[in-house]
Structures are given as C-alpha cells and as structure tokens.
Structure 1
Amino acid sequence: MTSTPSANHFKPLQEGDPAVVGGYRLAAVLGTGGMGKVYLTYTPGGRPIALKVIRPEFSEDPEFRRRFKQEVQAAQRVQGLYTAPVIDSDTDGAQPWLATAYVPGPSLAHAVGQHGGLPLRSVLLLTVGVAEALHVIHGAGIVHRDLKPANVLLASDGPRVIDFGIARAADSTALTGTGVSVGTPTFMAPEQAAAGTVSPATDIFALGQIAAFAAIGSPAFGEGSSHAVLYRIVHEDPDLSRVPAELLPLVTRCLTRDPAGRPSLTEIIELCHEISPVALRQGEDWLPQAVAGSITERLRLPEPAKTPPPQPAVAPTPTQFSPQNPVPGQPPAPGAVNPYAPTGFATPAPPTQGTPGAPGPVPPAPGYPAHPTQAHHATPPPGYPTYPTPAPGYHTPPPVIHAPYVPPARPKPKRTGLIVTGAIVGTLVVLGVIGSLLPDGSSDDKAGGSNSAGSGSGSGDSGTTGGGGKRADPKPVSYKGIDLTDRYEIMLADSPPSPAEGEDVVYGDADFYYISYDSVPSSVGTGNGKLVLLNNAQKGSLETCRAETRYTEKITLDQISDGSQMCLLSDAGHIAVVTYRGKSGADNASNYVTIDLTIWRNAEEPKDS
C-alpha cells in the first residue's frame, strides 16, 4: 500500500492556520467540527496527539470559557481503556485549545459511510467498548451529551470515545441563537431534543442509536433537516426494520422514550455477551478487513513541520534580546523566562538537520532532539535563526583568549544583620526574665498575648500571631456545584479544588471525601482535619467554624439533607463551609454527591504532624 491514500486523512496547513499552538508545532489538519479545528502534532517524545483549537466565536464568549474550563478539568479525570485521554490544554489563553491522545483509526461515521454496516460481532464489540467508556465517563460525574458516530473512533484494539462532556460548554452561551451549530440532532434523546434535559440515560439512548447505525448503515430516525429529525425523535418510533434480529431487543430497550425504562450500562454489556454466539474479546480482528485497512493508512503520519530556515542577520529590536528573551546561546538572566520553553507538556519540533544536500546525521524520530548533546536546544520561534547546526560556509569567529581568572575582591560584609539579631535576642531575654518575675496570668496582658497563637478555638482571634499582632482574616473563595464521585477526594489548597480518585480516602490525607460501600452507610468525611455538622439555626461562616467545639471525622448522608452545612477545619490551617446539595439518583449510572464550598485558606496556623 502506498502512502498516497493517507494523504486524504492529513491535510496540509493552510493560510490562516497557526504554525504553533501552546508550544506544539502543528503537522497537519485532522478535521474541522462545530466547535473548532483539530490538528495533528507531537509530544516531545514523538507521540502523536490531536489538538483541537476552539473557534473564535466561542472563545470570545465568557460563559463558554467558564464552562469549557470546567469540562476540561472534569475530562482530565477520565482515564479509561476506551477513551482518548486529555493530554494538555489551555482554557485561559486568547484562543482556548485541548489536546488528546491521537487515535489512528476512522470514526464510525466515516467507516460506515465508506464501507456500509458492520457485521454482528463487530457491532457487539463496538457496543461493549462504548458502554465501558460511558461507565468511566459517568463515574467521573460527566454526561457526554453529544455521543454520535463522529465521536466514536475505531482503533485496532477497540473503539475510543472522544469529546466527552465538551459539548456542554456550548450550551446556553450567547451563540445559541446566532446560527452557530455544534453538532447534528440525529442522535439526541427525546428529553434532550424536547426540553434540553440530560442525564446518563441520555447517553444510553445515543448508544442504542449508535448500535443501530453500525448495524444498518444509517440513522434509526432517518436523515434530513434538523427540525424534521427532531420531530421524529420526539414524536415517532425509530425504523428498526433492518436491525438484525439478535440485536433488536437490545436496541429497542435503549431507544425507550422514557429515560427510566432504559437499561443500565451493566445490563447492556451482559446482553451483548448473551447475544454473541462466541465469547466477546477485543483483538486485531474485531473489524472487517476493509475498515482495518483504513487504520493502517492513518498510521502513516506526516512528519512535524520543519523549522524555518535561518534568517539574515538584522539589528535586534529593543525587545528582541530583552532579559525575558535572551540572546540564543547565552544563559538567561536569573529569574528570566525562557522564550523557547513551551507551555504544558509539549515542546516544539526539533531543529532542522542541515541545509539540503549537506551531509548530516539520519533524521531523528518525530519530536526527538537531533543529538543527545543538543537535547536542551528547543526550536526557536519563527524569525529566530537556528543555532545548534551552522550552515555550510559559516565562519566561526576566532576564539577569545581570556586572561587567567582572578576572583574579584569581595566587599567587606556589613554586620548590620548581626547587630539587629543580637539586639532582638537581648530584648527577648530581658522580657523572659521580667515575665518570670510577674504573677501568674499577668503575662497574658503585658507580653503580647502569648496564649492566642496556639489556641485554635474560641473566638475569631485564633489567627493572631505569637508577636501580639492580629493577622487579618483571609478573604473567602466560593466554588459552586462540585460533583464528588464515590471514593473521590478534594484538597482545600487546590484552586479550584478538583475531585481526584483516592486509593484509601478513609485512612488517607484527604481534606474532604465521599465514600459509599454496600455494607456501610454512604458518608462524607475528612482524613486530614475535623468536621462539624451545623444545626439549622447556625449560619456557616468563619466565626461559626472557629467557635465550634463539636468535632467528628465522618458524617453519614442520612444525617444531612439538601442545604445542610458543615464546617471543615483541615490540619493544614484551611477552614471551609461545605454546603450539601444532594446525591445522584438511584437511576443514575454514576454515584456522586454535589457540594458547594466556601474556603478561607490559611485561616489558622497548620497543626504539627
């Protein structure tokens, strides 16, 4: 097979496409979608990744940016065998972007469009893989809400689900009525199409449509204008006449109009195993040969874009070689930012290996430096000359001969610090002697309140310092709608506090966790501090939390209800008011609690470990 067919999958960069995004040098265009454009690029180690740059229309909308940042943070928690993990992102830059692992395979939409429907075994393995992906996605508190054949990629070892949860960022933005379309409504659920309501059951409906689409080669609710398709989804039954008889019961249950009547992901996986005449095992032969050939084509990756050739020497601008942009080859000033250091985890492509026709080493693998001794040389930005490998004919200037090194005379150190230190020590000694001669209790008023620093309870003055000066209370920071999944934890020092999976949250060092075992009541707790459940008459505040003396480490969910408040005092000195907002429903595929947080960081002195 020649490399010509693969050229259709990797389109060259066009005028208007950036050359570098976030330190990643772009190699080709993978595709264009409703929310942005996707490019092929490489990590420093040469691994290909897909980088999506969000369209300017969205990036200019403040509400989109806020939601996009939340969804990217949530997506970074998803690490499943059938998902494409998030590698890097920039949600605050002029043009937001998101990088995920590159999957060398066609989308389900492309494969079916080129080769028609898949055989039953392939459909069952596809359904099982997507169901496992949704299980991980829902476990992280995310609803995909845009599950469709274009977001399911067919890799050699099974399907990969991409773009999970990102479509939520586009909902309810200022662009809703401007004609900007994020996707097609063909695979929406009735409740999503009619009222915009989504839940994990919404993704189950989409999974049923994907299974039918893979089997018959066309959408179950037909094609046409958006309004016509949406009407059929909400008011009519799907056309399942061509769905294989073995697959029909599963698809029918998934496409139940009532979300409560749809099967769980576990039931779907079990049904697929019951339907299959042989054991379902993912392997290299899970796809028809024609589709597998398309995977091989996508493994012929284009090389990273080459570094621009050296430019003629010109007088530098006043800012070109400023302390923040040092002269190439010279060490940066202390504290200066290296202009060649990329953001995130990526570095630009390696420097060119010499001019055409000049002898040189064999080109390295994509993303690797040309020579071990040059590993610290990054590719200069456009307009800077490439210094590691001089062009032929370049005349190296004669070496500069320096006189023998003589260290400069060191100025005589001033002893101001010693004098001040001695004065302070002497003063403390005198105060200590005076304090020891005073009656008990008098030192509290005359020696600067020595007991206040370590009390940690009582009045709101627990933040005072040992020297008698009162430390100002920190300003509170609030975070709304945090979904804390079962066996996940948060740390108050994180900004924002993002849920992370804990190996042993009960006996670990989590500031706050949620856990739910079958044998014990579901509860929230802390492994690194104290909890106080406030009564209805109390209002959560810094003063209230400091004054409370009723402490525990775990509170069961049957003790709290929507709106209940808890004080959380971490051993690191942070204080927070946790407001409980409820738990996921019984019909929800994921298990999580929702909380609001108001945090006063460093409100107290940290406790000694």
Structure 2
Amino acid sequence: MNGDVAGGVFQPLEGDDPPMVAGYRIAARLGSGGMGKVYLSHTPGGRPVAIKVIRPEFAEDPEFRRRFRQEVQSAQRVQGLYTAPVMDSDTDGPNPWLATAYVPGPTLSAAVAEHGPLPARTILMLVAGIAEALQVIHGAGIVHRDLKPSNVLLAADGPRVIDFGIARAADATSLTASGVAVGTPAFMAPEQAAGREISGATDIFALGQVAAYAALGAPAYGEGPSHGVLYRIVHEEPDLSKIPDELRPLITRCLVKDPAGRASLTEILDLCRTASDQTQLRRPEDWLPGGLADGISHRQEVPAPVPTTAVPTATAAVPAGPTAPPTAHTAPTAHATPAAPAAAPAAAPAAPATPPPGYPSGAGHPAAHPSQPGTASRPQGYGPASAFGPPRAAYTPHPTPAPIPMPLIQVGTPHPPKRRNRTAIILVSVFGGLLLFLASCGAFINSLGKSTGYSADGANPTSSAKGQPRPDPEPVVTKDFKLTSNYHLKFADDTLEPHDSKEDDLYYYCASEECTFGTYGAKLARLDSGTEGSLQACRQETRYTTRIPVEALSKGGAMCVKTEQGSIALVVYKGSSAKNDPSTYATLDVTVWRGAARKD
C-alpha cells in the first residue's frame, strides 16, 4: 500500500487525482501499481493512512468485486506486528478502495535500488519478520500470492508486509484473461507459474526469492521476458553462489520446486536463529544500514492533513439558483456563492457537519477505538462502516444556508371563479363514504380475530405459542466427505459439495504442514473429548471461535457449527490425506439440522 515514486516520497496531486476519497482528504500521492493508485491521507485524529483506489478497469468487473470484497473482509482480521492493518474500505462503491496504516519506510525494491544489496545481518531480521507476518496471514486463511520486494516495507522497527491476498481478487477476471498482468513473474512459485494449486507454500517460495533479491540486488532467476523467467523458475535452479554463506541454507530450503518439500515457517525462523548464532532473535534499533535508516527518519515528516479550506474551489462550487443546505455529498466552503449558470461544475463529496452520535470530538486514530459504534451511529452518506467503527470524514461546520426566495405572485385581474362540477362532487362523496364503511368492517374483523385468537386470513398466530414446541428438524447425514484444502462447505446445500467461496459456513485450509478448520460468519465450537455429538450438545455449546487447528482434534473429534441462516451442523473429523497424496483434504462425517437454531 505504501511505496516510493520517482522524485520523492510524497508527490503533488495531478489532474486526474481525487482531492477526497469518501471523506478522507488527500494530502499527496504515494505511488501507483498494476491495480490502482496509492494516496496519503489522515484520520480525523490526524493519524496518517495510505489509501489505495482500485483502477476503473478492475472496478467494472463483477468477479473482481466479489473476490475483492471477500479478500478485504479476510484482511481486516490480520493484526500482526509485521503487517500494515487494513483500517477501512469500500468494496461496493463506484471506485473501490481500502485504507491501511501508513508505514514511514521505503519498499525493499526501492531500498535495494538506491543502496544496493543489504548485509546478511539485516536480511536475517528481514526474513524473520516476513515469516512472522506470513504466520498471521496464513492463520487468517489467506495466501498472499504476490509477495515481492515492492510489497515489503522497511520501517525503523522491522519490515511490514502489505497487499496480502488482494492479488487473488484479480485472478480469473476478464482483465487477466485479456492479458493484463497481475503480479511479478520474477517472484512467482513454480506451481503459480504453471497454473497449479496455490497454497501457503507458494508464499514460502516467494520469501526465498525476496531474500535472494535483498542479498544479490537482482531476482534469483534473472530478468528479461516473462516467459523466459517463468521457464527458469519451473525447470532450472538459481545461481546462489554469490549469496553469503550464512544465508544460503535458508534460501535453498525456501526455493525447493516441490511445495511439499519446502521449509515451513517454523523451520525458517529456526534457520534464522541458527544463522545469527542466537537462541532468540532480538531486533536492534539499528537493524538497517546507516544510510537507509537515515532516510527513514525523513519519511516520518509526512505532509500535514489538508485543511477544509484547502479543497480546490471547483469541488466546493454550487449550481446557480437558491443556495441549498450542504449534504454529505456537497463540500461546503466558508463563503460559497452561486456560480454562473454556464459554468456550474459538479458538486464533489465533502465532510459532514457534525460528528454522528457516539463519536467523540477530537478522537484519535480509529484503531484506538475498536469498541466505538460503527454502522449504527453513522448517518447516511458516510459510506460503509469500517472494521474499527468510527466514520472517516473530517468534521467542519456548515455555513448558514442562504434563504430560499419565495415564488413571485402576479398581481392583476383575478380569473373569474369556475363553476363547480356537481356530478364530480357527488361521486367523490359516495366513494369516500364507501371507503369509510370498508375500513370499519376491517377494524371489526381484526378485533374479532384478536378475541378468538385468529387473524383475518384465518391463521392462528398464537397456536404455536400455546401448543407444543416446534419439533426438531430431521438430520441430513453425509459420511466420509472429502473436504479439500482451500475449499468451503455450505450447509444449506441439499447435497454437500465443496465451494470456492469465502461466504460459506466452514472452510478447511492448509499452509505448509499446518491445517485449520474455520468459519467466516458462522459460530464454531469444539466439543470436549468424550462428549457425545448430538443436536442438544451443539445447542448448549457456547465456547465459540473462528478457527480450530487440526492438531487440536484427534480422530473422532467433533465440532459444532451454527450458521447465520439458523442451521446447526455436527462435524466429526476422521483424518487427513496422506503426505504422498496429490490432493490435500480432510475426511469428515457431517450431520446437518436445518433451521434447528431458529426459534420461530
């Protein structure tokens, strides 16, 4: 999300750059990439943020929007020390965007281009930090897919991994099918280059390439035409002879062609500790070379937030005619005057007048207020609620609207009164009386229904309350179901089948040697060992979570899932696929009671 641009870190806005994005006033342009442009803005409390606005070509693709919405929802759950958290987003508007915390540091690609290869000590700290970030990202069920030097930022206290999972939104869209490249071929894994299954091991291979790039100052598989680079990645071994000795075992373990043979993230951290001769890695304040560290100190002097009066006049102009009160879609100025009819520009989005209820004035960075009300306290026009609740617009007082002139009344000879149509008057009177009669009949029938317990349509709404409780639904049982890694189940299906969608009820995901069951909207709970799996046991279970590692389940271990649609499922884990199996899957017995959690 944060990157360098030629000629300086903070670039002035150009003609096609927006002065405001959904209430965030843009202070500078940070850079651009294959999926959009990145801008610097600030929260209402003055905390700098980086806002990525997606290219219109992608925004027009329905499949991209669907995947982008899913990936942003997943990314908002990632809160690691070495990631830039996603703080806000709008995935459904005309121009999708997301905002992350601004990281005052260059990208790894910019640092190497300016200062050359990094020392081995710095690279060990770099790899360890990225490995920790990937542990958190994979733990949220996300594969980065586009880990490369330009997606790694170098901050004073360690690296930051950005744009995790967003590349998946661009996969298989009409744009990629028509030749728009997403991602960098020089940092792809063999399975990615060959179009095979993507997993957490794909990010491990990319991590090895990133480490080699930091040590060599160039990609491990060379540069040149994309097809040549991809061929070498799939079929050839890289030349690592110039890699420092202490880094070569680490990078070699990452660049194994077979995903199953690559190092796990835990092994990578162990190799970093071994290479640094430390039992525990300690990141010193001077982990970066001197010249690079000095440059970071200048980056912390970000441009000040844009004041309200600094918004270009064109965005604050109003059409000719009576001045209307400003709304959430009209930017007020201190001295707004009507423009000439021939030159009235379109109104631009602007800041609301006062904070919504529940949002204190002078509040700080949104991440500091995770418990503040979100959508419920946000008036219409503020865009979708973020993961952290508070609205994103800066608050400025509205000017007092100019009085609306009253219409002129022409004074002159009055028109002679028209003769009233007696037939029309009689018909209106008869029709009005008929309506009153029908309304009286309806009121009488309803009152009679209340006294007898039946409504006007013959239904008895109180019979279910007075009678016996609704019987439990019949269970739907599926034995020995194979759920493949990175696929999902939806318990509303008449016949269970795996889906490639993150809006379903239960997913299974494996990264390296770690596999996890998880949910996105449903409630997940693990039954204690020895507890008989039943509908009643699942109804009583309240120890909800969103993730259960497979290592926490023995064969025969049971999980309960309560879906947002009111169904309850009992999932019994029976084992995982063998290591030499070409597919990675879990075998499950699934019992579903549809509607069992509803009270109606």
TM-score, normalized by the shorter chain, greater than 0.5: yes
The one-letter amino acid paired with 1:76 is Q
Q: After the TM superposition, which residues 95-134 of structure 1 pair with which residues of structure 2 at under 5 Å, given as runs?
A: 95-134=95-134
Aligned ranges for residues 44-55 of structure 1 at < 5 Å? 44-55=44-55
Paired letter, 2:24: Y
Tell me how large the CA RMSD over aligned residues is: 4.8
Separation of aligned partners in 1, 2:450 and 2:380: 50
Q: Is the 8 A contact 1:526 1:554 kept in 2?
A: yes
Are residues 1:454 and 2:454 paired?
no
Structure 2 residue aligned with 1:344, among 377, 382, 385? Answer: 385
CA positional deviation for 1:233? 1.2
1:153 maps to 153
Q: 1:111 to 1:319 in 2, by over 3 A?
A: same
**Cα 1:501–1:139 shift into 2, 3 Å:** farther
Q: Residue 242 of structure 1: CA displacement?
A: 0.7
Structure 2 counterpart of 1:497: 521
Say which SS state the counterpart of residue 210 (structure 1) adopts: helix
- Could you tell me how far apart the structure 2 residues matched to 1:259 and 1:222 are? 21
**What SS class does the counterpart of residue 209 from structure 1 fall into?**
helix
- Which AA in structure 2 matches 1:145? R
For 1:423-468, what per-residue CA distance to the aligned partner results, in whole angstroms no more than 9, with x for missing partners? 6799369x9xxxxxxxxxxxx99995666562333699xxxxxxxx
Query: Per the alignment, do residues 210 and 175 of structure 1 end up closer, same or farther by CA in structure 2, a change over 3 Å counting?
Result: same
The yes-or-no answer on 1:379 pairing with 2:413 is: no
Task: Identify which of 451, 462, 483 aligns with 2:507.
Answer: 483
Q: Classify 1:89/1:323 alpha carbon distance in 2 versus 1 (closer, same or farther; 3 Å).
A: closer
1:536-585 CA distances to partner (integer Å, 9 max, x unpaired)?
A: xxxxx99xx8xxxxx9x8543118xxxxxxxxxxxxxxxxxxxxxx8897
Instruction: Output aligned runs, 1:198-213, within 5 Å.
Output: 198-213=198-213
Match of 1:290 in 2: 291
User: Is the CA contact (8 Å cut-off) linking 1:481 and 1:595 kept in structure 2?
Assistant: no
Contact conserved, 2:37 with 2:54, CA < 8 A, in 1? yes
Matches within 5 A, 1:474-553: 479-480=503-504, 482-483=506-507, 490=519, 497=521, 508-510=542-544, 514=548, 516-518=550-552, 520-521=554-555, 523-526=557-560
Matched residues in 1 for 2:132 and 2:461: separation?
68
Displacement, 1:6?
11
CA distance in 2, matches of 1:595, 1:19: 55
* Mapped partners of 2:577, 2:396: distance in 1: 50
Matching residue of 2:170: 170
Residue 556 of structure 1 aligns with an amino acid whose one-letter code is: V
Q: Is the 8 A contact 1:125 1:282 kept in 2?
A: yes
8 A Cα contact 2:523 2:544, kept in partner = no
The code of the aligned residue for 1:557 comes to Y
Identity %: 48
Match of 1:79, SS state, is coil
Contact 2:127 2:207 in 1 (8 A): yes
Alignment of 1:242-321 (within 5 A): 242-278=242-278, 280-308=281-309
Does residue 222 (structure 1) correspond to residue 225 (structure 2)? The answer is: no
**Partners of 2:167 and 2:277 in 1: CA distance:** 37
- Which residue type is aligned with residue 284 of structure 2? G
- Provide Cα deviations, 1:322-380, integer angstroms capped at 9, x if missing partner: 89989998999xx9985774653565675xxxxxxxxxxxxxxxxxxxxxxxxxxx137
Cα displacement (A) at 1:68: 0.9
CA separation of 1:488/1:37 partners in 2, compared to 1, >3 Å: closer, same or farther?
Answer: same
Q: Residue 593 of structure 1: CA displacement?
A: 9.6
Q: Distance in 2 between matches of 1:446 and 1:19?
A: 56
Instruction: Report the 3-state secondary structure (helix = DSSP H, G, I; strand = E; otherwise coil) of the residue aligned with 2:297.
Output: helix
Matched residues in 1 for 2:268 and 2:354: separation? 62
When residues 349 and 82 of structure 1 are mapped into structure 2, their CA distance, relative to the original with a 3 A threshold, is same
Q: How far apart, CA to CA, are the structure 2 residues paired with 1:330 and 1:216?
A: 54
Which deviates further from its counterpart, 193-202 or 160-169? 193-202
Amino acid at match of 2:266: T
Q: Report the alpha carbon displacement of residue 26 of structure 1 after superposing the two structures with TM.
A: 1.2
TM-score by length of structure 2 reads 0.65
Contact 1:483 1:595 in 2 (8 A): no
- Structure 2 gaps of 5+ residues are 333-351, 357-375, 402-439, 476-490, 494-498, 510-514, 529-537
Is the aligned partner of 1:79 residue 2:83? no
5+ long unaligned stretches in structure 1: 351-377, 389-415, 432-443, 461-474, 491-495, 530-540, 546-550, 560-581
CA drift of 1:219 comes to 1.0
Query: SS where residue 63 of structure 1 aligns?
Result: helix
Q: Deviations over 1:79-100 (max 9, x none)?
A: 1111111111111111111111
Q: Which amino acid aligns with 1:247?
A: L
- Per-residue deviation, 1:594: 11
Structure 1 residues 593 and 210 mapped into 2: Cα distance closer, same or farther (>3 Å)? farther
Equivalent in the alignment of 2:573: 557
Which residue of the partner structure matches residue 183 of structure 1? 183
The answer to whether the 8 Å contact 1:68/1:166 transfers is yes
Alignment of 1:584-603 (within 5 A): none
Call closer, same or farther: CA 1:456–1:180 in 2, change over 3 Å: same
What corresponds to 2:14 in structure 1? 14
Shift of 1:483: 2.6
**1:16 corresponds to which letter in structure 2?**
D
- Counterpart Cα distance in 2 of 1:10 and 1:301: 8
- The whole-number CA distance in structure 2 between the counterparts of 1:338 and 1:446 is 36
Change in CA separation of 1:179 and 1:200 when aligned onto 2, cut-off 3 Å: same
Q: Give the Å deviation of 1:304.
A: 2.1
Counterpart in the other structure of 1:537: none
Instruction: Return the offset for 1:154.
Output: 0.7
TM superposition shift of 1:36 = 0.5
2:89 counterpart SS class:
strand
Counterpart Cα distance in 2 of 1:197 and 1:170: 16
TM-score norm. by structure 1 comes to: 0.64
- Cα displacement string for residues 394-421 of structure 1 (whole angstroms, at most 9, x for unaligned residues): xxxxxxxxxxxxxxxxxxxxxx9xx999
Query: 2:240 — aligned with what?
Result: 240
Change (3 A) 1:234 1:446: closer
CA distance in structure 2 between the partners assigned to 1:446 and 1:41 by the alignment: 55
Q: In the alignment, what sits opposite 1:427?
A: 451
Distance 1:283 1:386, change over 3 A: farther
The answer as to whether partners of 2:82 and 2:159 remain within 8 angstroms in 1 is yes
Q: Show CA shifts across 1:198-230 (max 9, x none).
A: 211111111111111111211111111212211
- Note closer, same or farther for the CA distance 1:131–1:338 as it changes in structure 2 (3 Å cut): closer
Distance 2:599 2:74 in 1: 32
Rounded to whole Å, the distance in 1 between the matches of 2:115 and 2:268 is 26
For 2:599, give the aligned amino acid. Answer: E
Aligned to 1:60: 60
SS at match of 1:212: helix
What whole-Å deviation, never above 9, does each CA across 1:277-302 have from its counterpart, x for those lacking one?
35531131111111111211210101
Tell me the distance in 1 between the aligned counterparts of 2:72 and 2:109.
25
Report how far residue 523 of structure 1 moved.
Answer: 3.9
Q: What number of residue pairs does the alignment pair up? A: 465
* 1:53 alignment partner, SS class: strand
* Greater mean alpha carbon deviation, residues 193-202 or residues 448-457: 448-457
AA in 1 matched with 2:214: A
CA contact (8 A) 2:560 2:571 kept: no
Please list the CA deviations of residues 457-500 of structure 1 after superposition, one character each: whole Å capped at 9, or x if unmatched. Answer: 3699xxxxxxxxxxxxxx9799448535678764xxxxx72689
